[in-house]
Copies of this chain bind each other. A is one copy, B any other.
Amino acid sequence: MIIKLKYRPEKKDFDAFVAGLEKEGLAVHEIDGERFTVLGLTGDTSKLDADRIRALDFVSGVKRIQEPYKEASRSFHPSDTVIDISGKGIGAGNFRVIAGPCSVESEEQLCGIAKAVKASGADFLRGGAFKPRTSPYSFQGLRKEGLRILLEAKKLTGLPVVTEAMDISQLELFDDIDVIQVGARNMQNFELLKELGKLRKPILLKRGLSSTLQELLMSAEYIMAGGNDRIILCERGIRTFETTTKNTLGLASVPLLKKMTHLPVIVDPSHATGNAALVKPMSMAATAAGADGLMIEVHNDPANALCDGPQALDPAAFDDTLKAVKQILPFAYRD
């Protein structure tokens, strides 16, 4: 950590400051310039609170050299993590596809879609039971009944299921769910993250609409600090000034995240674009960029979907997309 001083404090204050840092096991190195003084800290600063130093009157700026996360960091865990989900691994070259509707609408709907996506080669089934919707007047999901239907579809097809929990109070219903999803709007719902840290179940953590990659890893760190290290990160686009697409899918985050962390990274081209016509090319691009998997919305009848119809593929388009993805896969980027 590098600390730039605004001015040189009184000797006694300065000594107390240095002593405090040294007590935390850090060594303090001093550089005196003509116009400023800089301190360099060496040792493990990952748990040091930069803001508390930044607040000191004589400090004009603080710059981290080490990352503020440790469990999620590639520097502390050099090799790729593979997450096992009911017998199927994801990460380190194991590429997986999660598919299904935005919302679970009925048993007939979900089972039909589940059979179709399985036939096309999907590995996991997704479907929202609890739905975060911008408007209180939009369909809010079948909730508990939705979870029951997901487990029916799992029984029918053998596909492990992925679905979102929006609140701690719902978690008791998720015992038989294979992967719990944390939605973009909940990426910094820290109370929920802490609870998920107590579980020993895979978590699919989606990047927030305006979260940096570092913040995404800090949220993973929340879960990992609790002891649950089975986390799959999901890039789903960020919010920018460009509104032609729902979000901006900056795929450089895929190779970049994989340098920063050992956790698997997948891409959700459906929410990232909000436009079914862009899901195929973005699935192909994400695969080429080295993603560990994809999460794609598929609906038997997008025009009548209760949620996010404009971005859903029908089963035939999904099948076509997966074929294209599989042609790219053998040539995909690996670091």
Contacts and interface: CB of A to CB of B under 8 A. Distances in A.
Interface string A235-256: 0011111111100111111111
Interface residues of A, number: 113
A142 interface: no
A32 interface: yes
A209 interface: yes
A38 B167 CA distance: 41
A90 interface: no
B209 A55 contact: no
Contact of A34 (B42, B134, B137, B312): B42
Given A40-B38, A136-B225, A305 B55 contact: yes
A65 interface: yes
Contacts of A212: 241-244
Contacts of A248: 238, 240, 248, 250, 252
A41 to B, nearest CB: 8
A9 to B, nearest CB: 10
8 contacts: A33-B42, A54-B310, A130-B191, A132-B190, A185-B188, A238-B242, A240-B240, A245-B252
Interface of A: 2, 4, 27, 29, 31-36, 38, 40, 42-43, 46-47, 49, 51-52, 54-57, 61, 63, 65-66, 68-69, 75, 130, 132-140, 166-170, 185-186, 188-192, 194, 209-210, 212-215, 218, 221-222, 225, 237-245, 248-256, 259, 272-273, 275, 277-278, 280-282, 284-290, 302-310, 312, 324, 327-328, 331-333
